[in-house]
Structure 1
Amino acid sequence: MTPAARLSAAIEVLADIAAKRRPVAEALKDWGRSHRFAGSGDRAAISGIVYDTLRRRASAAGLMGSEEPRALVLGMLKVMRGLDAEQIGQLADGSRFAPAPLTKKERERLSGDALENAPPFVQGDYPQWLHASLRHVFGDDVIAEGEALANRAPLDLRVNTLKANVEQAHAALSHLHPASGRFSPLALRITLDNEGKAPPVSAEPAFLKGEVEVQDEGSQIVAIIARPLPGSQVLDLCAGAGGKTLELAALMDNSGQIYAHDSDIRRLKPLHERIARAGVRNVQVRSPRGAEKVLEDLEGHMDLVLVDAPCTGTGTWRRNPDAKWRIRPGALAQRTAEQAKILDEAVRYVRPGGRLAYITCSLLDEENGEQIRALLSRYADFSALPPSEAVLALGEKGVELAGAALLTREGLLMTPRRTGTDGFFVSVLQRAG
């Protein structure tokens, strides 16, 4: 397919998403099934155009004065990919399989700068209803933070030290030209190609042998800051597919005991296979079984309880731009209620003198600092460790992280703009002995 034909296909997919209000991955999959002539490179390029358009939907619409799929794609080509009106016109020229030629109005829009005086939520490419919450956290930097969230995310890997060291993993993946992580000593970062396509890491021998796992550097960092000690008793209360569970096991050198639990048994399904591939031996999966209290024997005995809480996912918009526009105010209220309930459950398992690490991939204070302040008001025997102290689990890199991240009395917030990671909040709480 020609570049122009790929643009037409992306416009078609975006029109399908708008008409049927369905997830982007589903629409792309269906398009591929009905256009089997398109090769893997074509499908990847079309996917890249669609996702880039969703990343910059607000600014593209603001530039073009329209939210029609064609307008969004044309606007994205300028605001994200840096093409000028002439270059865009060469792609949209009306030739076979290409989009129709640019209209006079479209050329004027693409040649102007309609975003100069646009509202912050348009310039920063985030939902208007979240502006007050984001500005509360970032102040005058809200546009810059939003723009960083609208960029593509890199591919980060975590070296599994139960199977290999960083030097060995780097050598095994040298053909992918990995770079070391900025803060995490376990991180390798792989740059995507010009169209945002990542290499098939899951087919690499190093991955198949369990030497590396796909995990954002920010996710790696929060697990390190939680400081799971070798030989200790740890409960991963919201384990999901087990990314942080596996990291905890490696940080503990396969000693002690980790109990992995999630309220939804379906989320735990991949963990069993991942445990085997990673060579993990100190994890016990405690799956829910109806009304049975499968964690009752752990109450008051855990050295560390990790709560990777369900949240709005605002910190992962680089990876999930579709979710940015699908989220509604009711979802925030639902998540904050769930988080408070989970925290009330989590404190039951923390032993005297033990710790609770609360983690979200959210940027919103309603899900982060506000939850911690509320918890501390409910439980007088808990106190928040100063984040400048908690980051020392990273050694010298922790001092650098403290200077880059946003620190509050309740915890530490990483963002793509500040730390080059996904957006993550972490707070470490200590229970009185």
Structure 2
Amino acid sequence: MRFYKNLIPPIWQTARAILQEGAHAHRSIQQLLRSNKKWGSRDRRFVAEQIYELIRWYRLYYEVALERPPETEADWWLMLKTAWLLQGHQPPEDWPEMQGLDSLEIWRRHRVAVENRAIRESIPDWLEERALQEVGEERWAKLLPALNSSADVVLRSNSLKAPRQKVLHRLRKEGLPVELLGDREALVLGQNRKFTHLKSYEEGWFEVQDYASQQLAHFLKPQAGRYLVDACAGAGGKSLHLAALMKNRGEILSMDLSEHKLKELRKRAKRAGVSIIKTEKIPASGRFSPAYYNMADYLVLDVPCSGLGVLRRNPQTKWIIKPEFLEEIQATQAHILREYSLLCKPGGQLLYATCSILPSENEWQVQRFLQSPDGQEFELLKEQHLGPDRGPEDGFYMALLQRKG
């Protein structure tokens, strides 16, 4: 690999902003690329990949290079030298910034550091301890390396517009390298390529939706003509998929605390040819008027969570969240189950989902609800765990409950 010195400062400066100043990873990288329009495609890909490598393997790199987090510009240059060596590249030794720690010492330190799994897999000690307590050694040993792998971009073909095979042929004709994934609507993008300019995208033939997320609608199997409430809808990826499975017949009420996300959902629904979705902002109190009670044939609660199941896509998460955040988010999940479950009609179904791998956010949360006074009217029909250690999906949990009566 050839290294161009002018690209290096933006890499470590952006990584520093993300890792030490709390900047949002995706937005920071996109802003950097937009502000350097003269960079070619190879340079842009190199910069983005190296920033994500620094985020993903932050602890491993700094433990080997410095035995502490980086503080100075010289520290970041040494971190990059270490990163490139561990990636199998030869750093440019003639650069003054690359002087100091020699390669043999880096490899010696690496041999020592990787004896500690939390350092080897680049996670905080508290997360290692928490995962061992909840997930157990056998699964965690397989799951953790998988969470550190890179994730493909996955698309969902829109069955309201065309069958998957027809979408596949059209995308290939438009120059997008896609392959079939699974036996339903999913397509995997072979390379991270732009596609929002394509006519097929503008006409709503496909959406970006992670493979695990696509399993939710099929897990529920909603019938056409029914009334469904997606009460944590966000920008609406699942609402759109549910509408397609319902053949655009019935009614979906998509709700969220963010009006900005609901505005994006309305735009996506128009593009996708979905007419059965209505949007509504959730009250700031998180409580609903009794007029909403006992109405939904299906209630979907894809609740806020730690995001520890999607570290492949959002490696910054492991450096942002703290143990106290887990307690706060579990309280939020319990509140949502308690308050939002009132929307489900007797005989209706409630789907609870997270993109976490921790039982305390998943099956333990569901069991606490079922054992509480608020959950006495519900029973568990089925549940499922997904994860990159088991298939092409991110870490995901789904539980389907039914309200008695």
Please report the TM-score for the alignment, with normalisation by the length of structure 1: 0.83
Alignment check: 8 A CA contact 1:359 1:427 kept: yes
Label 1:147 to 1:290 Cα distance change in 2 as closer, same or farther (>3 A): closer
The correspondence for 2:385, drawn from 413, 417, 431, is 413
Unaligned runs of 5+ in 1: 193-197, 387-410
- 1-structure distance, mates of 2:308, 2:53: 17
Match of 2:350 among 341, 345, 356: 356
**Counterparts of 2:319 and 2:20 in 1: how far apart (Å)?**
15
User: C-alpha separation between the residues in 2 aligned to 1:311 and 1:52?
Assistant: 24
Within-5 A mapping of 1:8-407: 8-17=9-18, 20-25=21-26, 27-28=28-29, 31-32=32-33, 37-66=38-67, 67-68=69-70, 69-79=76-86, 81=87, 83=88, 87-89=89-91, 92-95=92-95, 100-110=97-107, 113-114=110-111, 118-135=115-132, 136-174=134-172, 175-182=175-182, 185-192=184-191, 198-288=192-282, 296-378=290-372, 379-386=375-382
**Native 8 Å contact 2:156 2:209 kept in 1:** yes
**2:329, 2:287 → 1: CA distance?**
23
Query: In structure 2, the residue corresponding to 1:176 is in which secondary structure?
Result: coil
Of the structure 1 ranges 22-31 and 245-254, higher mean CA displacement relative to structure 2 is found in: 22-31
Q: CA deviation at 1:431?
A: 1.6
Answer whether contact 2:153 2:210 (CA < 8 A) is retained: yes
Deviations 1:80-127 (A, max 9, x none): x4x0xxx323xx3234xxx73354544322367525752222222222
Residue 284 to residue 116, structure 1, CA distance change in 2 (3 Å): same
In structure 2, list runs of 5 or more residues that go unmatched. Answer: 71-75
Q: Does 1:427 align with 2:399?
A: yes
CA offsets per residue over residues 137-156 of structure 1, 9 Å max, x none?
14234243222111211010
Q: How many percent of aligned residue pairs carry the same amino acid? A: 28
Deviates more, 1:6-15 or 1:157-166: 6-15
Measure the CA separation in 2 of the matches of 1:231 and 1:243: 20
What are the Cα deviations for residues 386-423 of structure 1, in whole angstroms up to 9, with x where unaligned?
Answer: 3xxxxxxxxxxxxxxxxxxxxxxxx2221112122111
Aligned residues: 393
CA contact (8 A) 1:60 1:71 kept: no
8 Å CA contact retained: 2:287, 2:340: no
Distance 1:371 1:357, change over 3 A: same
Across the aligned residues of Structure 1 and Structure 2, the Cα RMSD in angstroms comes to 2.6
- State the 1:52 CA deviation: 1.5
Structure 2 vs 1, CA of residues 249 and 115 (structure 1 numbering), >3 Å: closer, same or farther? Answer: farther
Give the counterpart letter for 1:427 in structure 2. A
- The structure-2 alpha-carbon separation of the partners of 1:78 and 1:415, relative to structure 1 and needing over 3 Å to count, comes to farther
